[in-house]
Amino acid sequence: MELYARVRRAVVVDKMSEREAARQFGLARETVRKMMRYSIPPGYRRQQPARRPKLDAWTGIIDQLLEQDKAQAKKQRHTAKRIFERLRDEHAFPGGYTIVKDYVRLRKLSQREMFVPLVHPPGDAQADFGEAQVVIAGVERKAHYLVVDLPQSDDCFVMAFPAETTEAFLEGHNHAFGYFGGVPRTILYDNTKLAVAQILGDGTRSKTQAFSELQSHYLFAEKFGRPGKGNDKGKVEGLVGYARRNFLVPVPRCASWDELNAKLRDECNRRRARKLRGHQQTIGERFEKDNEMLLPLPAAPYEACEKRTTRVTSLSLVRYRTNDYSVPVAYGHREVLVKGFVQEVMICAASEVIARHPRSYEREDMIFDPLHYLALLEQKTNALDQAAPLAGWELPEGFAQLRRLMEARLGKKGKREYVQLLRLLETFSLTEVSAAIDDALRLGAISFDAVKHLLLCRIERRPARLDLENYPHLPVAQVATTAAADYLTLLSEGAR
């Protein structure tokens, strides 16, 4: 560039001829003329497309290979080197690798997809799941977090779950709509199996039952992106990565999923104070336009659960997502409805809820409620010590002490009475029953009837009086009539 400026100055300012300048600077006269036409070097300019006489006859084959690659996995598509080898070995191509490589590069660039900048109307939303590592109660786990984005204002809601399931999908929508204070008019999704049961031949979607119910409850319209085209919902795709980098780094350590989700909600609230590039207002200020267009919330949230009908086994168990949950033995072999929530499994018979259990995300796990089996154990007392539902059931020490005394005094009948005592827990709290057992041990009233009587007296706040005629198993007190001679006996013993 320095030489370029010196030549131009010598000719224009110092009035040196182009012939003399070419001689003094050692340049061709045509080069000096070009310097006079352009104030800065124009660079190389091709006048016509490059000719490839050796390649032109084979470009059709290359184009065909590249077109066929579109249907193959990315890691198994032709490289330029592989195309050159096939041309050479299969089609007797006489040229070299470089011209094949250059042509393939240009063809691939021309085939890359281009995009149209979009505007987003207020009240529309996009939703997608992401994944990240978290530590819950000291255990490292994979979190599946739902992100719901309002593209017009860039406001977002993030909620994490132990698994990407139907109930998580539904629960996330309930909380997102509550966070925004309304329901988006339209929500754009990918073709997740949680919402799309099948893509039909004409491109329409057959929706899942749960998604249709959610939509009917909140009345939003749905849109689905093209299969495999995440750019159709680029806003929420970007927020999935943003949430992972900003909300979940460093790896959060929380005591529970509720604590983690409270943290994520706080992060979303703090983000509302940001001003994004190209905007004069904060996210929270721009959200006001979205808020005006949101649909009103219904009176109650949708029941966010997956519903399955199944039958109770002979072990009084119901299977849901590879895990078995117990129900009362009275419902054995009956058909029941299982409602799987994010944190709970509820089992119903007709309109009655017969069992509730904390949700397990393990595989082939067995979740028991000992109370469900006590009615059966009352009939099959020999199974008491080997009953799996009672294994690991932690009860106060008074229970074990009372059982030992019952069995010592009553034998096999004492074991049955102990099960009857445990059945009090079907109606009363553990604290109340435990206090009644302590009273019975203090009074030496070793029987189910005595414990039940003491329990009712404690609950009704009345004195505990035991009518011994109603409790034949209690030791009977022998009371004799007092005589004066008895006192004389005591006096004579005192004189000694």
CATH number of domain containing 159: 3.30.420.10
Domain boundary among 293, 318, 339: 293
Q: pLDDT digits over 465-474, tens only?
A: 655 565 565 5
Both tokens of 372, joined, read 């469900």
202 and 100 part of one domain: no
pLDDT > 70? residue 224? yes
pLDDT > 90? residue 432? yes
Domain boundary among 228, 258, 293: 293
In the structure, what pLDDT confidence band is assigned to residue 369 with cuts at 50, 70 and 90?
very high
228 and 147 part of one domain: yes
Q: How many domains does the chain have?
A: 5
Domain of residue 445, residue span: 374-470
Q: pLDDT digits over 225-253, tens only?
A: 877 665 667 789 999 999 999 999 999 99
212 and 67 part of one domain: no
pLDDT > 90? residue 133? yes
Q: 491 in a domain, yes or no?
A: no
d(CA 142, CA 145): 10
pLDDT score at 479: 67
Q: 117 in a domain, yes or no?
A: no
Least confident of 4-8, 74-78, 111-115, 256-260: 111-115
Q: pLDDT digits over 279-290, tens only?
A: 899 999 999 999
Q: 494 in a domain, yes or no?
A: no
In the structure, what pLDDT confidence band is assigned to residue 151 with cuts at 50, 70 and 90?
very high
Q: 116 in a domain, yes or no?
A: no
pLDDT score at 174: 97
d(CA 223, CA 192): 12
pLDDT score at 129: 95
Q: 44 in a domain, yes or no?
A: no
135 and 62 part of one domain: no
Q: pLDDT digits over 298-350, tens only?
A: 999 999 999 999 999 999 999 999 999 999 999 999 999 999 999 999 999 98
Q: 488 in a domain, yes or no?
A: no
Q: pLDDT digits over 179-223, tens only?
A: 999 999 999 999 899 999 998 888 889 999 999 999 999 999 999
The stretch 423-433 carries a mean pLDDT of: 94
pLDDT > 90? residue 38? no
185 and 134 part of one domain: yes
337 and 258 part of one domain: no
pLDDT > 70? residue 292? yes
pLDDT > 70? residue 362? yes
Q: pLDDT digits over 81-92, tens only?
A: 999 999 999 999
283 and 207 part of one domain: yes
Q: 301 in a domain, yes or no?
A: no
The verdict on pTM exceeding 0.75 is no
441 and 313 part of one domain: no
Domain boundary among 321, 343, 367: 367
Q: 50 in a domain, yes or no?
A: no
78 and 217 part of one domain: no
The stretch 91-120 carries a mean pLDDT of: 85
pLDDT score at 119: 74
pLDDT score at 412: 81
